[in-house]
Structure formats: structure tokens, C-alpha cells
Amino acid sequence: MLEFVTMALYSLLLACVLALGAPYWLWRAARGGPGWASGLLARLGRVPGELREAVEGRKVVWVHAVSVGEVLAATRLVAELEHALGDEWSIVVSTTTATGQALAIKRFAGVDREGSARVFYYPLDFAMAVRAYLRALRPRMLILMESELWPRMLAQGRWAGIPVVVANARVSDRSFARGMRVRPVWSRLLRQVTLFLAQSEEDARRLIAMGAAAEAVRAVGNLKYDAAEPRQSEIARWLGGMQRVIIVAGSTLEGEEEMALIAWEAVLSSKLSPLLVLAPRHPERFRGVEELLAGGKWAKYSGYIRASDCGPERKGNGHFDFVLLDTIGDLAAVYGVADVAFVGGSLVPRGGHNPLEPARFGVPVVTGPSYENFRDIVGKMQEAGGIRIVRKGAELKTAFQDLLSNGEGAKAMGGRGRKVFEEQQGATARTMEALRKIIGKGNRLGAEKMQSHEVRS
């Protein structure tokens, strides 16, 4: 009875949030065209016909990857699942954000005959929408990447007998503080998960402290250590052929582009004529960063070019000092041609982004003091001397100057970072071992319930 009341209150709260946000959603649908509108309908429970056809007659594993970072972490795992399970199975992938959807289509289209049909938007957490997808897919397992837990989906999965695994599970400082404040409620949610495969021992400890069953938590390592090789990138090849010193500022947030530009300007005195590549984290900020490069004090330099203009037809002839990386999915490969990389989201209090993306190439990595989301990774790299932490924008200037003026030191630092990357690999194999052990358990009951539509509201 208590669970029924709790879920009813949760659904009412979610409905209120949706109602309040309805004008915005309708406005976005009107501006975004038919594709955006169909995405909204899919979130509300209208299962795409192409998705139904893609899974027809197959056993299904559903992987949910919220956005770009989770899609990158899931890429090799999906490939391993495809290889291990064979043609009788279909691995479908959902995302929450449009950028995650775009990257997932690029990563997973063409892996099997369904192509992009198996990539779709995750439904809103209403009983009707969730049930529609569970009935259409009848998944034998639901794999949630990192930290995406929705009460209705977890409840429906449990009632249907579907194992739910949180892969690459992590708990940020903020999430841990919030979870401990509402532990009596949060622990009920956590105990509906079949297995947590945590990124680190610290993440595992936090999950148990928040109420997860100790026997359902296992530390297996970070899947991002095992990220698949970056896809082939025309942009990366073009940049690599310039024979210029390249600084890449990746996954930057508002304010960090200005700091990177100031640090780049300070390096000019070294007569290296470096090229600065700016890769904003969110596509909606591309226009604002372009305006920054085109106006004010930065307009006096040799100009900028957008990466989207640098395809086979337009190679970006002429001299310029800045490249705006306004494409999706190229950053990982672009890091590979950098002489030094700054990983953004870290000079502003947003928890940072993954320093392994440049470190895997032996590129010296600089990050700010806000790296809570990757505390374990940064800690290992600090211990090895494979990363440089700067506390403010002024220190970013010094870091760029030091690394670009001391080639041997920068190379050694990059090598130490790459060694950390190589030593920590293996999380995918450990994750696959755990998934293989449970993928057949409880599925018969789940499949029977889904077939007969015995999914509770």
C-alpha cells in the first residue's frame, strides 16, 4: 500500500512538472520541425515502428545512455554484447539528450542490419510510456549507464521480472549528499536494482551507504578506460596535417573559452604560432562562442574557422588562429593531434570531464580544480604525474607556456598519463563477465509477463 501511494504521488509530481513545462516543449517542437516533434511523441510512449521491426523475433537487451559521455562509455560494451550474444539478440540503445541521440546513431548505425532503427529516445517516466516500451521490446535485461535511475522504470522492471543493471555506476559528491539526506526513500529505489557495477571502490562504498544491498554492488572499474578507438574523423586528419602546434580546449563550459583564449594569447610570445581548437560541451553554445571569436579583442588576430566548414570540399585554406569544433563525435579523435589538451567543465564548478580521452594518446592533460565527476581517474593520474591541475585561468596560461616550451617534459607527462590509461583497462571484460552470469536469470518470468501484458500500473 505504501509503495502504491508513493508511486501515485511521484506520478502526480511528474505530471505537474510536465504540465508546467508543456509550453516550452510545444515551442521547441514547433521550432524543431517534424523530427523534434516525433522525438517528443516517442518520449510520451509512441514506440517507433522501425524499432518494433528491428526487434521482431529477437531477444532484446536495452541499454540506456543519457548523453554523449554515457554513449562513449557504452560503445565498446554494446559491441561486446553483440559479439557475445549473437544474431538471435538485438541490443537497443536509448538516450535522453539530442546530442546523445545523434552520437548514438553515428556509433551504432551499421553495426547490424537494423542500423539506426535501434536507437531511440528514452520515455518519460510515466506508467503508460514505460509500459509501452517494455511491452514492445520485452527486454531480457535493462542496462542503465552510470547514474540514471527512474522510479517508475525500476518498479515496472521489478514487477516484470526484468534484471536491471547499472553499469559504470558512479556517485558524485552532490548526488551522495542528496542521497544521504533522503536515505529512507532513496534506499528503496536502490534496492530495486539487480546489480550495480561501480567505477571504483569509493563509488561502491557510497552506494552501500545510501542503501543499496551490499551483495548487489561490485567495483569493476571505469568503462571509459576501455573506450573504443575514436571513429575516423576528417576534421582530425585535416588538423593533423597542418604541421602547427595545436592546443585543444575540450568540453568547455561558459567562461572557459575566454580563459583558454587568454592562455593561448600568452603563448604567442614563444613564437610557436599555436592553433587553438575550442570544443564547447553543448551545441547550443556554438553560436555564442563563434560570436566571441568574431568580435572584441579576438577579432584582431587571424580569424577562425568552423570545423563544419572543413570537409572535403572546403579545407579551410588560409591562415587562422582558432578552430570552433562545432561537430558532434569528433573531439575524441581531435585530442589525438593535440600538443596539449585542456579538459573543460573544471575551471567552473561543474565536476569536470574525462581526462582519459586525451591521455590515451599520450597528450599532456591540464584540468581545473573541479573534477569531482572523475575523482578516481584524476587521482590515479596525479599519483603518476600524468596530469596538471590549475586552480584558475591565470595558472592555465602558465601551464600552456610550460608544456609547449618544454617538449621533453610534456612528452614524459603525456606518457605517464597514457600508462595510467593502459593499466586501468579491463572494466569491460569484468562487466561482461557479470552480465553473462545474470542475463539468463529471471528472464523466463519476465518474458512471460511482458507477453501477457501483466505489467502493473
Catalytic residues: 70
What is the strand order of the sheet 89-95 is part of?
119-121, 89-95, 59-64, 139-145, 164-169, 195-198, 217-219
Strands (E), 85-194: 89-95, 119-121, 139-145, 164-169
Which long-range contacts does 112-116 make (Cβ < 8 Å, 24+ apart)? 112/82, 114/50, 114/53, 114/54, 114/90
Where do we find the cell 535511475?
149
Cβ atoms of residues 220 and 427 within 8 Å: yes
Here the cell at position 223 is 568503462
Q: In whole angstroms, what is the distance from residue 281 CA to residue 100 CA?
A: 12
Helices (H) and strands (E) in the chain, counts: 19, 14
Q: Is 371 left (phi over 0), alpha (psi -120 to 50) or beta?
A: alpha
Q: What span, in angstroms and rounded, lies between the C-alpha atoms of 106 and 235?
A: 15
Instruction: Report residue 187 as a C-alpha cell.
Output: 534506499
Q: What is d(CA 253, CA 180) in angstroms, rounded to the nearest whole number?
A: 29
Q: Where are the beta strands (DSSP E) in 19-138?
A: 59-64, 89-95, 119-121
DSSP reduced 3-state for 231: coil
Q: Which of 280, 364, 359 is nearest to 322 (CA)?
A: 280
Residue 389 phi, psi dihedral angles, 5° rounding: -100, 125
DSSP 8-state assignment for residue 357: H
Q: Are 107 and 75 in contact (CB under 8 A)?
A: yes
The separation between CA 271 and the C-alpha centre of its own chain, rounded to angstroms, equals 37
Alpha helices in 214-320 (DSSP H): 234-240, 256-267, 286-294
On whether the CB atoms of residues 362 and 386 are closer than 8 A, the answer is no
Closest CA to 364 of 407, 419, 414, 409: 414
